[in-house]
């Protein structure tokens, strides 16, 4: 927000757009053109032409006049008199005009009489094609509609004479003059409400130029109390400015909307949390309406202040204004802080340390790393990286990975900017693993969240347990017949209490719960399978849970809460008995904020789906093997449920969740390809049981040998990677496990290639560069795959890739923002949630520390109204993000986003306590010999594992000489320009770290053999008898071809010319030369080529 002082605080804010409004009475006339209908379908109207030839022609719907040849300046024109202009007002003059010849005319708004002043004077260039013209101006003088003794009347004039000697025709159409106009008939609350309606509050008090009311608190929805004016005409495409002066005590944001007071309650403008404090503040909100609302009817336009809150407060307002505007709202510009972007949390001492600098500089820049006292720790120069399309910015990269000093408060200085502070510490991410996992207890449904566990700020009543106003989840029916379910419903009810609320709403979804449970279980299972996992880090009493101290790892206790709910979602009877209901949620969307216990909506079960059923089969099978040690009976229950669900899915393989199911109060989670779910469920069942039937289904799946690792790793709709990771990391006897593991490593290699090319160090590279909904979760899911490659190989580069990939999430990004609440200097804290809603109601908390925001989303078809308004002029993909609670498309929080963050956080925490044990290099990629054309480049590649990451030095050996270092050749890739000198040269890479050295095999560079090709043919020669004749020829080829000249008489055979082995041939002209022809034959190991013959003509005499 940009603030300025003008008596009272005033702020200019870009508008959001979204939800509902309430109705009161009143009306105001629409604002339109100040000059009436500007078309000429019914004749010229009040418009007058002068100095023209013939009649004014409006037969085509435009006003056309013929301008005589040689007409004088001011001698011909078209005018409209009686136009009132007010000094200081902003106007828009628009029209369409054409001319039968290319000509520049004069168009003005001024006085129809001396002194002939103007407030707009332009020179539009016209052609035969009708040209639309729009001029926006602020009047510097006032003109009356009717002339007075003091001032001539105002007029719009098009002066046509004197601009060309030719005769031509001028045509004018669609003329409109509009200005900022006040739409509200009552703008001051100094003495009364006027036509405004007030509800849900105390009686108003009027004093000191303002109206004040007391809000009682205890209101579930913002619109449970409000101040509204109804009868407001709003036009699509029109620009408006809403301005009001108000205050609240204590400081409390309020919701302000311009929308319809009925019907679907659509909105053209929404500010979900107008920031009001105890001092009167004037807020301006320019916006462009995307909708039209009439002043009357069943859904008239309305301006409303929604004042309902859970806590009591006082609201006071003095003035409000809504005007039309000729000026579109300014584009949204986020405050991105310093141009030096770092991981605001920090860096591990032994890990990569890179930053990104946004700069127009094209040459390397100096940088300095400063400690907390301002002393220089390290310095160097940046590496220019050019233009980054994802952020639409020119950037450089800073690499200070060699720094291993530790501490807090480091900053990086480059290009005159100082980064936000960060730490270099070994225990950097230790708490993040717990913060990310503690999120899930706060997402529990069907149980109170206890203050003694999470503190008063986050404590709340149990939601959806049948206590009014909840309808409860204790006895939930199926949704009534819907066309998108082919009329399906059911005749039973289920107790589906428990589980996790999926995201910012009160819905619970099996497929999103499935991947979330799987990733929590895998976070724990990695402690059993990965050598680098820290023992006990995820044991009992490590999380804030009521189950602490029960002897079971807390992460398993948390996963069990969702597993038990998923078991309740199995259909007990009917057509789909044994399948799992896809979801349960309200039958209508609710507003924000709304605590779970206050949700009054009817809730219903949705049709079972094959995808949901296979999700249960997969996670129940995984849970069965992990709970075996702690609760054998529960493990048996899970395994039986997994088997039954898998069999039910096989019996009903194509019961899909349709996209249309998102129209009744919840997301659809639609999916019409369940091959990946079958693959995942079979894999988990095989790893748990070892049974052949599941092994056959795994190896028989078309996904088993396919590339299942997309640009975003795993997701609820793409679970093939989950199967592959389980098969690769959990011990099992599946044939070809080595290939499975190799596929994970190959996928990780691809992601590292993406990262290496990304100036922000990100591993995310979506198709077409367009960032998708939940892009941050895609980043984290890719990091899981890279981290797994590290677990499989121990290669440092994979660990480094994970650590650098996290930089993006913690601030090294286009917005200079950490997307994890509570982590970093500037972090997301207004994620879309109905109960973590401090932005809307100060009595409620922000999301807890460790909550991952959805992240940039440039897919405009998925944008919420807040994004549509803020980014009306578009945005670079990596900048399409708003930390606004109303932006569900970019700022949602969900269980499956925090589940993957938990996995990654636990992985990096395991690698932060100490530098890894040194391991000598081992060559993993051998260089291969290359044959290339002369002058081309040959590329040799080698790689080696080792800890720490080994350095590399390429060496070359030519002939019988010694091996020598290639200057500057210290990366895994060596590029050699192929010359004759390089033919047969041998290269090798030598890898070195503190633990030892490894040398790759030799790779030879050979020059490609190329047969001769003639480039110059000998020319025919005419020479005098007794003189000498010279012929010349040339050819290319490798090796360089030899040459032999040949001669023949007339058409006889070609014979060698003795000793003729150079490119030039010189022969005596004797009588024997009559009828001779010469040619050159070029030869090398690859072939030969002969020139065209050249004749020798013998002349007599001179």
Catalytic residues: 505, 832, 883, 892
Q: Which of 26, 292, 31, 301 is nearest to 181 (CA)?
A: 31
Smallest CA-to-CA distance from 158 within 173, 145, 147 is with 173
Residue written as token pair 């031509």: 168
Q: Are 655 and 608 in contact (CB under 8 A)?
A: yes
Exposed/middle/buried for residue 114 (C-beta within 10 Å: 0-12, 13-18, 19+): exposed
Q: What are phi and psi of 335, to 5 degrees?
A: -85, 105
Token pair for residue 587? 């039958």
d(CA 973, CA 927): 9
Count the neighbouring beta carbons within 10 Å of the beta carbon of residue 474.
Answer: 16
Phi, psi (degrees; rounded to nearest 5) at 910: -65, -20
The residue assigned the tokens 């009014």 is 468
The two three-digit tokens of residue 786, written as one number: 């890279």
Q: Which residue has the tokens 């059923």?
A: 613
Q: Which residue bears the tokens 């991105």?
A: 336
The tally of CA atoms less than 13 A away on the side-chain side of residue 1047 is 16
* 998 closest CA partner among 917, 919, 941: 919
> Is 892 strand, coil or helix?
strand
Cα→Cα distances 566→32, 449, 614, Å? 58, 20, 11
Q: How many other C-beta atoms can be found within 10 angstroms of the C-beta atom of residue 866?
A: 26
Copy the structure tokens of residue 549.
Answer: 């101290």
DSSP string, 487-518: T---S-EE----SB--SSSS-EEHHHHHHHHH
Write phi, then psi, for 1029 (nearest 5 degrees).
-115, 140
CA torsion through residues 724, 729, 735, 740, sign = positive
Residue 683 near residue 720 (C-beta atoms within 8 A): no
Place of tokens 């690499």: 399
CA pair distance 60, 58, nearest whole angstrom: 5
Single out the residue of 516, 367, 515, 345 nearest to residue 432, CA to CA: 345
Bridge-based pairing state of the strands 8-12 and 281-288: parallel
Q: How many CB atoms lie within 10 A of CB 984?
A: 13
Q: Which of 1069, 1024, 1064, 1063 is nearest to 1041 (CA)?
A: 1063
Non-local CB neighbours of 874 within 8 Å, separated by 6+ positions? none
């Amino acid at each position: 927000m940009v603030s300025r002082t003008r008596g009272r605080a005033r702020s200019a804010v870009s508008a959001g757009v979204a939800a509902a409004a309430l109705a009161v009475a009143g009306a105001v006339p629409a604002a339109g053109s100040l000059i009436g209908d500007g078309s000429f379908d019914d004749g010229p109207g009040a418009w007058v032409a002068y100095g023209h030839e013939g009649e004014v022609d409006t037969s085509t719907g435009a006003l056309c006049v013929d301008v005589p040849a040689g007409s004088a300046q001011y001698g011909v024109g078209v005018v409209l008199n009686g136009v009132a202009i007010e000094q200081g007002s902003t106007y828009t003059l628009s029209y369409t005009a054409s001319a039968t010849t290319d000509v520049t005319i004069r168009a003005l708004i001024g006085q129809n009489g001396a002194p002939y002043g103007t407030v707009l004077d332009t020179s539009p260039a016209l052609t035969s094609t009708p040209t639309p013209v729009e001029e926006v101006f602020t009047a510097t003088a006032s003109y009356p509609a009717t002339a007075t003794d003091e001032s001539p009347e105002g007029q719009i004039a098009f002066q046509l004479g004197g601009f060309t000697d030719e005769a031509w025709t001028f045509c004018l159409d669609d003329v409109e003059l509009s200005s900022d106009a006040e739409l509200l008939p009552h703008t001051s609350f100094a003495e009364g409400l006027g036509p405004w309606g007030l509800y849900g509050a105390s009686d108003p008090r009027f004093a000191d130029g303002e109206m004040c009311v007391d809000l009682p608190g205890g209101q579930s929805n913002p619109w449970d109390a409000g101040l509204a004016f109804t009868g407001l005409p709003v036009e699509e495409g029109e620009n408006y400015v809403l301005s009001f002066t108000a205050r609240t005590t204590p400081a409390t944001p309020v919701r302000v909307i311009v929308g319809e007071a009925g019907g679907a309650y659509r909105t053209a403008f929404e500010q979900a949390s107008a920031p009001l404090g105890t001092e009167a503040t004037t807020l301006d909100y320019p916006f462009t309406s995307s909708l039209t609302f009439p002043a009357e009817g069943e859904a008239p336009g309305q301006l409303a202040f929604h004042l309902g809150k859970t806590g009591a407060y006082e609201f006071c307002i003095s003035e409000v204004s809504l005007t039309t505007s000729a000026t579109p709202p300014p584009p949204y510009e986020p405050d991105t802080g310093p141009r030096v972007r770092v991981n605001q949390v920090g860096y591990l001492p032994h890990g990569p340390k890179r930053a990104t600098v946004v700069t127009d500089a094209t040459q390397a820049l100096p940088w300095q790393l400063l400690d907390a006292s301002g002393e220089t720790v390290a310095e160097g120069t940046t590496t220019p990286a050019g233009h980054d399309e994802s952020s639409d910015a020119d950037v450089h990269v800073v690499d200070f990975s060699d720094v291993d000093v530790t501490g807090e408060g480091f900053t990086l200085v480059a290009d005159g900017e100082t980064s936000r502070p960060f730490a270099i510490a070994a225990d950097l991410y230790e708490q993040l693993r717990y913060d990310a996992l503690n999120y899930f207890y706060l997402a529990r449904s069907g149980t109170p969240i206890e203050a003694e566990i999470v503190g008063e700020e986050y404590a709340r009543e149990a939601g959806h347990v049948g206590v009014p106003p909840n309808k409860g989840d204790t006895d939930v029916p199926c949704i009534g017949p819907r066309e998108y379910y082919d009329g399906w419903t059911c005749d039973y009810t289920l107790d589906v209490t428990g589980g996790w609320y999926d995201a910012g709403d009160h819905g619970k979804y099996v497929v999103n719960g499935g991947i979330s449970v799987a990733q929590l279980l895998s976070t724990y299972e990695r402690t059993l399978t990965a050598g680098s996992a820290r023992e006990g880090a995820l044991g009992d009493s490590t999380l804030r849970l009521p189950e602490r101290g029960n002897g079971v790892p807390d992460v398993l206790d948390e996963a069990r809460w969702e597993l038990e709910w998923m078991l309740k979602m199995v259909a007990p009877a009917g057509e789909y008995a044994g399948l799992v209901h896809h979801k349960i949620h309200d039958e209508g969307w609710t507003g924000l904020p709304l605590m779970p216990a206050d949700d009054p909506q009817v809730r219903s079960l949705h049709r079972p789906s094959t995808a949901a059923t296979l999700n249960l089969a997969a996670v129940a099978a995984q849970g069965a093997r992990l709970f075996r040690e702690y609760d054998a009976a529960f493990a048996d229950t899970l395994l039986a449920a997994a088997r039954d669900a898998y069999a039910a899915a096989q019996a009903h393989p194509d019961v899909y969740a349709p996209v249309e199911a998102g129209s009744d109060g919840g997301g659809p989670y639609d999916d019409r390809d369940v091959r990946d779910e079958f693959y995942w469920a079979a894999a988990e069942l095989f790893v748990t049981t070892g049974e052949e039937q599941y092994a056959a289904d795994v190896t028989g799946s078309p996904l088993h040998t396919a590339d299942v690792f997309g640009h975003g790793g795993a997701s609820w709709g793409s679970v093939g990677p989950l199967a592959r990771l389980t098969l690769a990391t959990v011990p099992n006897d599946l044939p070809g496990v080595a290939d499975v593991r190799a596929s994970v490593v190959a996928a990780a290699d691809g992601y590292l290639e993406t990262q290496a090319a990304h100036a922000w160090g990100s591993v995310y590279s979506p198709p077409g560069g367009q960032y998708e909904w939940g892009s941050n979760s895609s980043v984290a899911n890719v990091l899981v795959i890279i981290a797994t490659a590290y677990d499989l190989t121990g290669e440092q580069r994979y660990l480094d890739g994970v650590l650098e990939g996290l930089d993006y999430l913690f601030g090294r990004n286009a917005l200079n923002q950490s997307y994890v609440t509570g982590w970093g200097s500037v972090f997301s804290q207004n994620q879309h949630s109905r109960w973590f809603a401090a932005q809307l109601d100060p009595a409620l908390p922000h999301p807890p520390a460790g909550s991952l925001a959805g992240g940039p989303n440039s897919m405009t078809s998925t944008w919420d109204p807040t994004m549509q308004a803020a980014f009306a002029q578009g945005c670079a993909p990596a900048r399409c993000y708003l930390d606004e609670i109303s932006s569900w498309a970019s700022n949602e929080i969900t269980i499956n986003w925090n589940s993957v963050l938990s996995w990654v956080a636990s992985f990096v925490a395991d690698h932060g306590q100490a530098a890894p044990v040194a391991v000598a290099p081992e060559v993993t990629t051998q260089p291969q010999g290359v044959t290339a054309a002369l002058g081309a480049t040959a590329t040799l590649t080698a790689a080696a594992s080792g800890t720490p990451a080994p350095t590399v030095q390429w060496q070359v050996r030519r002939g019988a000489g010694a091996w020598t270092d290639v200057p500057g050749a210290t990366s895994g890739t060596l590029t050699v320009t192929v010359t004759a000198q390089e033919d047969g040269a041998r290269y090798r890479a030598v890898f070195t770290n503190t633990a030892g050295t490894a040398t790759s095999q030799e790779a030879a560079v050979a020059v490609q053999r190329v047969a001769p090709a003639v480039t110059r043919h000998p020319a025919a020669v005419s020479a005098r008898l007794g003189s000498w004749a010279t012929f010349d020829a040339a050819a290319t080829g490798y090796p360089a071809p030899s040459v032999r000249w040949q001669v023949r008489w007339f058409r006889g055979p070609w014979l060698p010319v003795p000793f003729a082995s150079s490119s030039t041939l010189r022969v005596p002209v004797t009588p024997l030369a009559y009828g001779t022809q010469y040619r050159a034959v070029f030869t090398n190991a690859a072939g030969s080529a002969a020139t065209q013959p050249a004749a020798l003509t013998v002349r007599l005499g001179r």
